[in-house]
Structure 1
Amino acid sequence: MSTENEPDWPILVISLQDAAKRRAMVSKQLEALGLSFKFFDAIDGRSGLPAAYESQVDRAGTEAYFGRPMSDGQYACALSHLAVYRQIVEEKLPGAIILKDDAILGDAFALFLREK
């Protein structure tokens, strides 16, 4: 699955499908570090949580827990992370490095991944 210079776990970058500038910035960083990665399309909650996901949230429970309601964008973000974790399990991956598209990466990140 990995080459000598690649980490054992795939790098998955959570990003909204239309976030071209953010995708370009994180792509540039990862490519400069010589790391391969895949984008994982985030759930878009900017115009409300899609109805298909409503059954997966507990609005009353989260409001009781946090003392305030969560926004649809916050639910979409949490559900996006849940979806990527599910993919790791379904694909029987040994694990994964999960990044958001606003990550700021440096040489130490690549070194950390390559250390065995």
Structure 2
Amino acid sequence: MIIHFRVIGLLLILLAGSHVVFPWFFSWKEELKRLSLINRQIMTIHTFFIALVVLLLGILCLSSGEELVHTVLGRRLCLGMGVFWVLRLIIQFFGYSPALWKGKRFETIMHVLFAILFSYMSIVFFVAGG
């Protein structure tokens, strides 16, 4: 089980780091101009904090796998993370329009990869939390 926490830790750190390219990749400079100042700032600030939480979860998985598996608090944290990632998996299919990825090679590949990633993390955290 610890190896899964190490893999997830590395994947979460990579996922957090990928947020750095969001403004460029999604053309936020132009896209966000259309929003009010408050909505523009909410988008950028929330993205930063989501990336920070994902980074910290990755570090937690890398540094504290044993504690996550072998303590009551660790198992409760795993259960909570399992709920978080299974909800994220559901949003992957029902929160985003298929029009964003269907018929687009790169977007479809990313959609499938993220679905696999969120499924994997959900399973590992639920198993460790159970």
Which band: TM-score by shorter chain? under 0.3
TM-score when scaled to structure 2? 0.24
Compute the TM-score of the two structures, normalised by the length of structure 1.
0.26
Question: Which structure ranks higher in relative contact order (CA pairs < 8 Å, sequence separation ≥ 6)?
Answer: 1
